[in-house]
Amino acid sequence: MNLSFEQLPEAVTNLTKEVSALRQLLISKEQHTEQPEQFLTIQQAAAFLNLSVPTMYSKVSKRELPVMKRSKRLYFSLTELTEYLRNGKKKTSAEIEAEADLYLSKNKKSAEL
């Protein structure tokens, strides 16, 4: 975009407004992401995972669930439990095929060398 000398002040003003708006957007995004970590009791975690409390204790003793222990109490991070659920996601046939194709294409290139 070519600007004339007369258009330059208006362009700088618009740029300043846009940078200010971007700065405000970044500040508001930072404020939303700085939420404190939420910790759950075993009863709350069981309800979140839709499991019984005895099953929770069993999974904790087998080290299948991320847990923190303070004194005799167990605490569960909501973020870690969500990640635990995501890690258990089963891949679709299309995802498995895509991974297989990628693996084969990578190994075919290294075998040719």
CATH topology (fold) of 36-113: Multidrug-efflux Transporter Regulator; Chain: A; Domain 2 (1.10.1660)
- Edge-to-edge order in the sheet of strand 73-77: 39-40, 73-77, 68-70
pTM above 0.75, yes or no: no
Task: Calculate the dihedral angle through the C-alpha atoms of 50, 53, 55, 59, rounding to the nearest 10 degrees.
Answer: 100
Domain range annotation of the chain: 36-113
> Quick one: pLDDT band at residue 109, thresholds 50, 70, 90?
low
User: Where is pLDDT greater, at 99 or 108?
Assistant: 99
pLDDT tens, residue by residue, 51-83:
999 999 999 999 989 999 998 899 999 989 998
Q: What is the pLDDT at residue 37? A: 82
pLDDT tens, residue by residue, 3-40:
888 888 888 888 898 988 888 888 877 766 666 788 99
